[in-house]
Amino acid sequence: MLAEILRELQELRAERRAGDPDARWMRLVLDNALDAITIVDPDGTIRYANHMAGRGDPTKLVGHNTLDLVPAAARTRWRDLLRSVVDTGETKTCELESVSGYAWYARLVPIKEAGRVTSILNISTDLTPLREAERELHRTEQDLGMALEAARVGLWRWNIARDELVWDQASRELFRYEGDAPLTIADYLGCVHPEDRARVSKALDHARATGEWQHVEHRVAPRDSDETRWLLARARVLTNDRGEMTDILGAAVDITTVKSLEFQLRQSQKLEAVGQLAGGIAHDFNNLILVINLSAQAAELDPSEAESSLASIRHAADRAAALARQLLAFSHRHEFTISAIDVNASIESTLRLLRRVLPETIRVDFVPEHDLLPAQADAGGLEQILTNLCINARDAMERGGRLTIATANVVVDDRYRDSHPWAQPGPYVQISVTDTGAGMSSTVHNRIFEPFFTTKEAGRGTGLGLATVYGIIKQFHGIIDVDTTVGHGTTFKVFLPSARQHPLDEEAALPGVMTGGTETLLLAEDEQIVRDVLSQLLRRAGYSVITATDGDKALATFRDHRAEISLVLLDLVMPRMAASDALEEILQTDPEMPIILSSGYADAQALAGSTREGMVLLHKPFDAGELLQAVRSAIDRRNVQR
Q: Over the stretch 290-309, which tens digit does the pLDDT of each residue have?
A: 878 878 887 888 788 788 87
Geometric angle at alpha carbon 293, from 292 and 297, rounded to 5°:
115
The answer to which of 221-230, 321-330, 570-579 has the lowest mean pLDDT is 321-330
- Beta-bridge mates of residue 125: 105
**What rounded mean pLDDT belongs to the chain?**
80
Q: What contacts 468, CB < 8 A, 6 or more positions away?
A: 326, 329, 330, 384, 388
Q: What average pLDDT does the segment 396-405 reach?
A: 89
In this predicted model, what pLDDT tens digit does every residue of 375-393 receive, in sequence order? 999 888 888 888 888 888 8
Identity (one letter) of the amino acid at 1? M
User: Lowest-pLDDT range, 93-102, 268-277, 628-637?
Assistant: 268-277
Domain ranges of the chain: 2-130, 152-254, 265-330, 339-497, 520-641
Helix, coil or strand: residue 340? strand
The number of angstroms, rounded, from the C-alpha of 462 to the middle of its chain's C-alpha atoms is 22
Q: Which residues on adjacent β-strands are paired with residue 245?
A: 239
In the chain, what are the helix, strand and coil shares in percent, each to the nearest 5?
45, 25, 35
Give CA–CA dist 325/472, Å, rounded: 11
Residue 495 confidence (pLDDT):
92
Question: For 528-532, what is the mean pLDDT?
Answer: 85
Reply yes or no on whether the pLDDT at 14 is more than 70.
Answer: no
The more confident residue out of 404 and 114 is: 404
pLDDT band at 502; cut points 50, 70, 90: very low
In this chain, the answer to whether the domains covering 152-254 and 339-497 adopt an identical fold is: no
pTM score, two decimals? 0.41
Q: Which residues pair with 569 in a beta bridge?
A: 523, 596
User: 124: buried, middle or exposed (CB in 10 Å: 19+, 13-18, 0-12)?
Assistant: buried
Q: Which of these CATH numbers, 3.30.450.20, 3.30.70.3280, 3.40.1010.10, 3.30.70.2740, describes 2-130?
A: 3.30.450.20
Q: In what helix (H) or strand (E) does residue 217 lie, and over which residues does it extend?
A: strand 216-219
For residues 197 and 193, give the distance between their C-alpha atoms in angstroms, rounded to a whole number: 6
Whole-number Cα distances in Å, 229 to 65, 166, 222: 66, 21, 8
What pLDDT does residue 511 have?
42
Tell me the per-residue pLDDT of 599-625, one tens digit each, with 9 for 90 and over. 776 554 544 444 555 678 887 778 888
- Count CB-CB contacts under 10 A for residue 279: 12
Task: Name the burial class of residue 571, with classes exposed (0-12), middle (13-18) and buried (19+) by CB atoms within 10 angstroms of its CB.
Answer: buried
Q: What pLDDT digit, counting tens, does each position of 344-374 carry?
A: 998 988 887 777 668 888 899 999 998 899 9
How would residue 226 be classed by pLDDT, with cut points 50, 70 and 90? low
Burial of 58 (0-12, 13-18, 19+ CB in 10 A): buried
DSSP string of 256-283? Answer: HHHHHHHHHHHHHHHHHHHHHHHHHHHH
Handedness of CA 555, 556, 561, 563 (dihedral sign): positive
Mean pLDDT of 62-69: 87
Lowest mean pLDDT among 90-104, 139-153, 573-587: 139-153
What is the CATH code of the structural domain delimited by 520-641? Answer: 3.40.50.2300
Q: Does the pLDDT value for residue 509 go beyond 50?
A: no
Q: How far is CA 433 from CA 372, 386, 478, 483, 606, in A?
A: 16, 8, 16, 10, 36
Give Rg (Cα) of the chain. 45
| Residue 456 neighbours by CB distance under 10 Å | 12
Under DSSP, is residue 541 helix (H, G, I), strand (E, B) or coil?
coil
Reduce the DSSP state of residue 563 to 3 states and report it.
coil
The answer, yes or no, to whether the previous bond of 621 is cis (omega within 30 of 0) is yes
Residue 459, beta-bridge partner list: none
Give whichever of 101-115, 312-326, 503-517, 609-623 has the largest mean pLDDT. 101-115
Start-to-end Cα distance in the chain = 115
Q: What percent of the chain has pLDDT over 70?
A: 79
Which of the four CATH numbers 3.40.1390.30, 3.40.50.300, 3.30.450.20, 3.40.1790.10 does domain 152-254 have? 3.30.450.20
State residue 543's pLDDT score: 94
The answer to whether 567 and 590 are in contact (CB under 8 A) is: no
**CA–CA gap between residue 308 and residue 299 (Å, rounded):** 8
Residue 342 has φ and ψ, to the nearest 5°, of -85, 105
What span, in angstroms and rounded, lies between the C-alpha atoms of 211 and 232? 19
Written in H, E and C, the secondary structure of 454-523 is CCCCCCCCCCCHHHHHHHHHHHCCCEEEEEECCCCCEEEEEEEEECCCCCCCCCCCCCCCCCCCCCEEEE
Residue 375, CB-side half-sphere exposure with 13 Å CA sphere = 29
37 sits in which H/E element: strand 36-40
Most confident stretch, 10-19, 69-78, 174-183, 497-506: 69-78
3-class SS of residue 220: strand
Tell me how far apart the alpha carbons of residues 561 and 572 are, in angstroms, rounded to a whole number: 21
**pLDDT > 60? residue 463:** no
Quick one: fold of 339-497?
Heat Shock Protein 90 (3.30.565)
Beta strands in 103-184 (DSSP E): 103-113, 116-126, 153-159, 164-167
Q: What is the pLDDT of residue 461?
A: 46
Contacts of residue 348, Cβ cutoff 8 Å, sequence gap at least 6 = 366
pLDDT of residue 428: 92
